[in-house]
Amino acid sequence: MFERLKDDAETPLYNGCIKFTRLSFVLKLYNLKASNGWIDKSFTELLSLLHEMLPEDNVLPKRTYEAKQVLASIGLTHEKIHSCPNNCILFRNEYASLRRCPKYNAKQMTWHAEGRIRDGKLRHPADSLQWKKFDNDHEEFATETRNIHFALATDGMNPHGMQSSTHNLKLLWDNGIEVYDGFRDENFIVKAMLYGTINDFPAYGNLSGYSIKGQCACPICQEKTDYIRLDHCHKNVFMGHCRWLSKNHPFRRMKKAFNGSCEVRRCPYLKSGSEIFDEVKHIRTTFGKPFTKQIPTASWKKLSIFFQLPYWESLYVRHFVDVMHVEKNVCESVIGTLLNIVGKKKDGINARLDLVKLGIRSDLAPVKKGKQTFLPPTACTLSRNEKCALCETLYSVKVPEGYSSNIKSLVSLKDLKLKGLKSHDCQILLENLIPVAIRSILPKKVRMAITKLCFFFKAICSKVIDPGRLPSLQNQIAETLCELEMYFLLSFFDIMVHLTIHLVEETKLCGPVYMRWMYPVERYMKILKGYVKNRSKPEGCITERYLVEEAVEFCSEYLSNVESCGIPKSRHHGRTLGEGSSGCQQIEVPRLQWEQAHLYVLQNTPKIEPYISLHKETLKRRNPTRGKNWITKEHNVRFIGWLQERVGEQLKQRNTSVSELIRWLSKGPCIDAFSYTSYLVNGFTFYTKQHDNQSTM
């Protein structure tokens, strides 16, 4: 195999070719294939075309299979090898006979116990009540700080295999695995527990066994979910947020503003794992399409497989609400309602007819005028001018590079709507831009309610949270949702809006939101899903693509002018010394700017420091009554001329040597310079004010 590799590395691509060998050309082509995700069919067609274009005596492979055979000699082929669950080693060669991993990097695994800041604030799940309760209930597990707390995340597929996660988790909890700690130079038994699951809302229902559709769609309120069926809209909405207010809050007695009755109920409590297990332990479910009719019609559809874990019942929260999707859906509902976007708005004839049927808000009932039906404006209805003002504000927003996508590209001034919003776009809009964009529109009370909703999401998504502030946040979101119930129609309050009432309690129990949302999961899953070209075999596609990238990445380190695949390069790469990017023109630098630039360079050059000290001492000696500030100002004014005279005197003396750098610096820069409207240096882009006014970022 080595001989074949050597022959390919020495064989020219065709007779007389001095730039490429058979191996180097195939490697560069495969680098492009891996970097751009070409499928095998397109790569074969490219090889065939290149083979016809090159001289007839070329040795280029004609098919992808033949190209793989060239790379097979450098390890592109693969075999299934057992690996350590913690990615320490592969059980082959000297480890082939071992049953347990001999290595384990435990230094980082103890950070939560030894390295984190302990100031009483929520920075990490280890600061949360659930983590602390688990440690108190399982002291033996908590004593070994190298034990692992897992979170299970999925986004519709499992790329790493189809084994039962529960079986592995039970093994890690009951028996553990003996591993070697290279940091402490000792063997120990590592155990692990499942801290919770991170999923979007449909997967929440699948993993928990709770039906997230219908009347009791809230998995936290469960049978105490306050719902209203809207027959004309054909949907359930979830209200009753006054239950979370204090007992004497005035909103509880405002009948007309809500559903026509006083609110005397208390908010539902969070059920414990033991209570839920008692409800579901008798459910027997047979899976498969033939048995669909046998699935229970109650809220609980099945007994979650995670209840096989002995500690699962003791956790406060077993399945986390994904704040990323909640925030995205709330943002789309707010924007869609304000701008009356088709498919996103929560107002319409059906929503008004539901009000008539329920006998509430009679002032918003549809009014017939001849053959047409007129809908009276609500408190959150915008005129065309207000919609234009909102869209123009968002259209003109400029944010730092890398902060978000180009907001301008999401705004359609023609249709007065926002389109193509991603999850991160919604986060930026809701937490930062909407409060600014609505300052000049809407009634004050409505504007304040929406702004408070935006500020709530910004506070709850912080990386550091003060637990003492959580009760006020809970009261704030309860009042905000009640105010929104006053101003928005019933159809606005879907399950995603309702779930915001539970976010504070979940943060209090489980820790900061940024450790429990889907952003990192979906970003990595996007990479893995991009590997899949044959959807019937996703795991195989991911394996093959990963191995190809690994082999090409290894070989590209030994080839010149080949970029690494899989690692995006910054557009500032290679510009750390500075480079103009637009608006180049030659100018004559004004004398004042020339002196300022010259002085700046001189004062920041180490070899000039002796001259700076000498000049200041000379000024002090000649002006003994002057203060430090005067000496500094006089030094800045006279230093350039003094340095030129001093260096000139030294050059006249034969026994004095002056370096070329000092000679060059004393003369100063050229009076002619190039001016740019934008300049890149050290990863930053600087613009002139005129250019910045015309840009969108």
Max mean pLDDT range (1-15, 162-176, 295-309, 381-395): 381-395
Q: Which of 321, 238, 318 is nearest to 275 (CA)?
A: 318
Average pLDDT, stretch 42-64?
A: 88
Q: Are 295 and 468 in contact (CB under 8 A)?
A: no
- Local confidence band at 575 (pLDDT 50, 70, 90 cut-offs): low
Q: Tell me which residue has tokens 């492009």.
A: 32
- Flag whether pLDDT at 349 surpasses 60: yes
Burial environment of residue 19 by CB neighbours within 10 A (0 to 12, 13 to 18, 19 or more): exposed
User: How far is 248 from 485, CA to CA, in rounded Å?
Assistant: 19
What DSSP assignment string belongs to 569-611?
PPTTTT-TT-EEEE--EEEEPPHHHHHHHHHHHHHT-GGGHHH
Least-confidence region, from 343-347, 411-415, 533-537? 533-537
List beta partners, residue 368: 373
Paired residues of 188 in beta bridges: 179
pLDDT-derived band at 668 (thresholds 50, 70, 90) equals confident
Half-sphere exposure (Cβ direction) of 660: Cα atoms closer than 13 Å: 0
For residue 159, give both structure tokens.
């790329």
The structure tokens listed for 469 are 């502030």
**Per-residue model confidence (pLDDT) at position 104:** 46
> How is residue 174 written in tokens?
């009951």
* Token output for 158: 């499992």
The contacts found for 571-578 with CB under 8 angstroms, 24 or more apart, are 572/680, 572/682, 572/683, 572/684, 572/685, 575/680, 575/681, 576/681, 576/682, 576/683, 577/681, 578/679, 578/680, 578/681, 578/682
Provide the mean pLDDT of the chain.
Answer: 84
Tell me the pLDDT tens digit for each residue of 228-284.
999 999 999 998 899 999 988 999 888 887 877 888 889 999 999 999 999 988 887
Q: Both tokens of residue 219?
A: 């998995």
Residue 209 burial (CB < 10 Å; 0-12/13-18/19+)? buried
CB 331 within 8 A of CB 421: yes
SS3 (DSSP) at 196: strand
Beta strands in 217-365 (DSSP E): 227-230, 235-238, 319-320
Under 8 Å CB-to-CB from 697, ≥6 apart: which residues?
Answer: 398, 399, 400, 401, 406
For 654, counting Cβ atoms within 10 Å of its Cβ (0-12 exposed, 13-18 middle, 19+ buried), the class is: exposed
Q: Which tokens go with 595? A: 């002196």
Token couple for 82: 């057992």
CA distance 649 to 628: 28
Q: What tokens does 200 get?
A: 């979007």
- The Cα–Cα gap between 23 and 203 comes to 47
Contact criterion met (CB below 8 Å) for 76 and 547 = yes
Which residue is associated with the tokens 């504000």? 393
Cα–Cα dist 611/406, whole Å? 50
**Which phi and psi angles does 319 have, rounded to 5°?**
-130, 125
- Decide if pLDDT at 370 tops 60: yes
Cα–Cα distance, 520 to 310 (Å, whole number):
29
Torsions phi, psi for 12 (to 5 deg): -65, 155
Q: If 0-12 CB within 10 Å is exposed, 13-18 middle and 19+ buried, where does residue 462 land?
A: middle
Question: Per residue in 273-314, pLDDT tens?
Answer: 999 999 988 887 765 555 555 556 568 888 888 998 999 999
How far out from the chain centre does Cα 220 lie? 26
230 close to 354: Cβ distance less than 8 angstroms? yes
Q: Hey, what are 665's tokens?
A: 């610096």
- pLDDT for 653 equals 82
CA distance 499 to 510: 16
565 compared with 42, residue with greater pLDDT? 42
Q: Could you tell me which residues come within 8 angstroms of residue 668 by beta carbon, excluding any fewer than 6 positions away?
A: 594, 598, 640
- The mean per-residue pLDDT over the stretch 166-180 comes to 85
Longest Cα pair distance anywhere in the chain, in angstroms? 108
* CB 426 within 8 Å of CB 327: yes
d(CA 634, CA 637): 5
Where would I find the beta strands (DSSP E) of 307-347?
319-320
Rounded-to-integer distance, Cα 565 and Cα 37, Å:
10
Q: Give dist(CA 231, CA 357) in Å, integer.
A: 9
Strand 192-198 and strand 148-153: the pairing is parallel
pLDDT tens for each residue of 101-160: 554 444 556 666 666 677 888 998 999 999 999 999 998 888 888 888 989 887 755 544
Per-residue pLDDT for 401 more than 60?
yes
- Average pLDDT rounded to a whole number, residues 420-445: 92
pLDDT at 76: 47
Q: Give the model's confidence band at 502: pLDDT under 50 very low, under 70 low, under 90 confident, else very high.
A: very high
The predicted pLDDT at position 161 comes to: 45
